[in-house]
Amino acid sequence: GMFGFEMIHPRIRGVDEGEALPTALTPVYPTTAGLAQSALRKIIGRALDTHRLDELLPDSLRRPLRLMPFGEAVRLLHQPPTDVNAEALVAHAHPAWRRIKFEELLVQQLSLRKAHAQRRARTAPPLRGTGQLTKALLAALPFSLTGAQRRTEAEIATDLAQPYPMQRLLQGDVGSGKTIVAALAMLRAVEAGWQAALMAPTEILAEQHYLKLATWLEPMGLAVEWISGSLSKKVRAAALERLASGQSMLAVGTHALIEDPVALPRLGLAVVDEQHRFGVRQRLALREKGSAGSPHMLMMSATPIPRTLAMSYYADLDVSVLDELPPGRTPILTKLVSDARRDEVLGRVRDACAEGRQAYWVCPLVEESETLDLQTAIDTHARLSEQLPELKVGLVHGRLKADEKRATMAAFAAGELHLLVATTVIEVGVDVPNASLMIIEHAERFGLAQLHQLRGRVGRGTAESVCILLFGKALSDTARARLKVIFEHTDGFMIAREDLRIRGPGEFVGAKQSGVPLLRYADLENDGDLVEQARDLAEALLREQPALAEAIMQRWVAGRESLLRA
């Protein structure tokens, strides 16, 4: 207030003369309609008085980890003594919080490891071939594999030869060459007499994979079927018939691949690109296409996963990392430019195109509204066409019909268009080596991973590539932090770590749809040491004390198998 601190609507509890003062601080809970604070306190207080919170971890395990007893921790958090370190309590740094966080992480580790063991108990066709097809493809390629590609290909080949289903995550930064690794894995399935299918989240990305696979494999006499919602009924029916009869062994498509009429009777390998964009049900639906046991699964992601995240949400997957870019890639120069200097940027586009190169102009996101995004793209295209009359300017956005989008992308790839105005549909998979300049308008509206993905569309040829991030006047602290990270770093893993710090794990992994519950108490950024300790203990418990592991899981999961990843 005007003269110092003041209390607004304080709640006061009267104490009778001679009555003992409370020994614990009064908890304040988030309330829900119809349930008052006082009622909640009464219910929770009664529960604490009448229920024994058993200590499941024996002292021999608990003490070396410096964990206070479970019941003591729960009671302290609900009824903290008056002399408690309030700052540590509020900051979730108190030993009582440490105990709760540790057990939550332990249960997550146990659940995911249990899922891993259950997967090992399922059967899958061992995909062992002669290696002739993979040798033929490698001999025909106009480039050599990097050391990282050779290593991951060998890891996948070992997994595919097992009689239980592979569940491997292949992660590699933008441009690290994941498609060729997937192609070699798919060839191993074909060699062993099984089918392979690759599913991608968008038509543009799926088609990029299809064109690459067709270019590599069709000269070897292997037909690759293209399955998408935009195909005519007749063409689609013919492709489905070839797959159902086993005449064709390879399929690439969007989520149209998991629709009912699609039959892949001998599906031995399912590849899912940008796997975090698909929900558990969609990944399961692709797996169920195989009639003989479970197919092997290879999941790919261009969003590198930080180590703590890999140890928690992805603990049931085997992970391969492509940590080496193919030779010949030129580093991308990133520039931060104020929107006030737009005329200079237009001059840069004009100069680049006059020298025979091409450019992307990416339109901003408008509060997650597809209609507004679309209008912004149309307006930007009209404005740039007027400001740069000597250039041929194309436009792609999410609402274009698939064949129109395909025609525009093909014209850009062929060099018939100088400048391509686009929404984020070009975020992944688009590969035009002659495009060496990218402008991202209102870059502050994009997430870090998205900016890194978009930037990766240039730098694919030999010319020096530049990515210009145009930003508006009023920047929030978060937006400023994001732009600083993308300006200073080109390493996807470093960017992913910063992304995790800024955004938290929920958005990062799309965990709401991944089948793994978001952690309620632990924080992966700050509790990395607990993640490691929980992982080590989970492995030991499952190996030496499975009954105890089950009891700990039951306390938290209580039969809800949603903790287990599909």
In the structure, what pLDDT confidence band is assigned to residue 447 with cuts at 50, 70 and 90? confident
**Cα–Cα distance, 162 to 7 (Å, whole number):** 68
> CB neighbours (10 Å) of residue 422?
29
Q: Give the pLDDT confidence score for residue 250 in this predicted structure.
A: 96
CA nearest neighbour of 448 among 345, 334, 369: 334
Question: What is the CA angle 280-285-291, rounded to 5?
Answer: 140
Asked if 337 and 453 sit in the same domain, the reply is: yes
- Does residue 175 form part of some domain? yes
Provide the domain count of the chain: 3
The stretch 491-497 carries a mean pLDDT of 80
Higher pLDDT, 312 or 126: 126
pTM, full prediction: 0.71
Asked if 91 and 217 sit in the same domain, the reply is: no
Token pair in block for residue 520: 């309620």
- Does residue 211 form part of some domain? yes
- 161: exposed, middle or buried (C-beta count within 10 Å: 0-12, 13-18, 19+)? middle
Higher pLDDT, 466 or 172: 466
**Are the C-beta atoms of residues 504 and 75 closer than 8 Å to each other?**
no
- Please give the full DSSP string across 340-408, using - where no structure is assigned: GGHHHHHHHHHHHHHTT-EEEEEPPP-TT-HHHHHHHHHHHHHHHHHH-TTS-EEEE-TTS-HHHHHHH
CATH of the domain at 371: 3.40.50.300
Q: Give the pLDDT confidence score for residue 137 in this predicted structure.
A: 95
Asked if 158 and 242 sit in the same domain, the reply is: yes
Asked if 302 and 396 sit in the same domain, the reply is: no
- Does residue 265 form part of some domain? yes
> CB neighbours (10 Å) of residue 214?
17
Token pair in block for residue 340: 């006030």
CA nearest neighbour of 453 among 414, 505, 499: 499
- Mean of per-residue pLDDT scores for the chain: 84
Asked if 147 and 292 sit in the same domain, the reply is: yes
Which residue segment(s) compose the domain that 376 sits in?
A: 332-489
Q: Which residues of 369-398 are buried (b: 16+ CB within 10 A; e: fewer)?
A: eeeebbebbeebbeebbeebeebbbbbbbb
- 116: exposed, middle or buried (C-beta count within 10 Å: 0-12, 13-18, 19+)? middle
Question: Going by C-beta distance under 8 Å and a sequence separation of 6 or more, which residues neighbour residue 527?
Answer: 101, 105
Domain final residue, candidates 440, 464, 489? 489
Asked if 268 and 374 sit in the same domain, the reply is: no
Higher pLDDT, 281 or 46: 46
In the structure, what pLDDT confidence band is assigned to residue 430 with cuts at 50, 70 and 90? low
In the structure, what pLDDT confidence band is assigned to residue 560 with cuts at 50, 70 and 90? low
Domain final residue, candidates 455, 489, 523? 489
Asked if 342 and 457 sit in the same domain, the reply is: yes
Asked if 388 and 450 sit in the same domain, the reply is: yes
Question: Going by C-beta distance under 8 Å and a sequence separation of 6 or more, which residues neighbour residue 159?
Answer: 166, 168, 296, 318
- Does residue 64 form part of some domain? yes
- Does residue 4 form part of some domain? no
Asked if 315 and 348 sit in the same domain, the reply is: no
Instruction: Please determine, for residue 276, whether its predicted confidence score (pLDDT) is greater than 70.
Output: no
How confident is the model over 21-43, as pLDDT tens digits? Answer: 677 788 888 877 778 888 888 99
Q: Per DSSP, what are the bridge partners of residue 337?
A: 470
Q: What 8-state DSSP symbol labels residue 518?
A: P
Q: Give the pLDDT confidence score for residue 400 in this predicted structure.
A: 78
Asked if 340 and 250 sit in the same domain, the reply is: no
Asked if 342 and 397 sit in the same domain, the reply is: yes
Domain final residue, candidates 489, 517, 540? 489
Q: What 8-state DSSP symbol labels residue 425?
A: G
- Residue by residue, what is the 3-state secondary structure of 215-235? HHHHHHCCCEEEECCCCCHHH
Q: Is the dihedral of CA 269, 275, 277, 278 positive or negative?
A: positive
CA nearest neighbour of 456 among 302, 277, 273: 302
Phi, psi (deg, nearest 5) at residue 314: -110, 25
Q: Give the pLDDT confidence score for residue 283 in this predicted structure.
A: 63
Q: Give the pLDDT confidence score for residue 175 in this predicted structure.
A: 74
User: Residue type for 393, please?
Assistant: V
- Does residue 107 form part of some domain? no
Q: Is the dihedral of CA 33, 35, 38, 41 positive or negative?
A: negative
Q: Is the dihedral of CA 126, 130, 135, 136 positive or negative?
A: negative
Q: Give the pLDDT confidence score for residue 473 in this predicted structure.
A: 81
- Does residue 497 form part of some domain? no
Q: Reduced to 3 states, what is the DSSP secondary structure of residue 87?
A: helix
- Does residue 565 form part of some domain? no
How confident is the model over 316-349, as pLDDT tens digits? Answer: 778 888 888 777 677 789 999 998 899 999 999 9
Asked if 317 and 336 sit in the same domain, the reply is: no
CA nearest neighbour of 455 among 411, 497, 490: 490
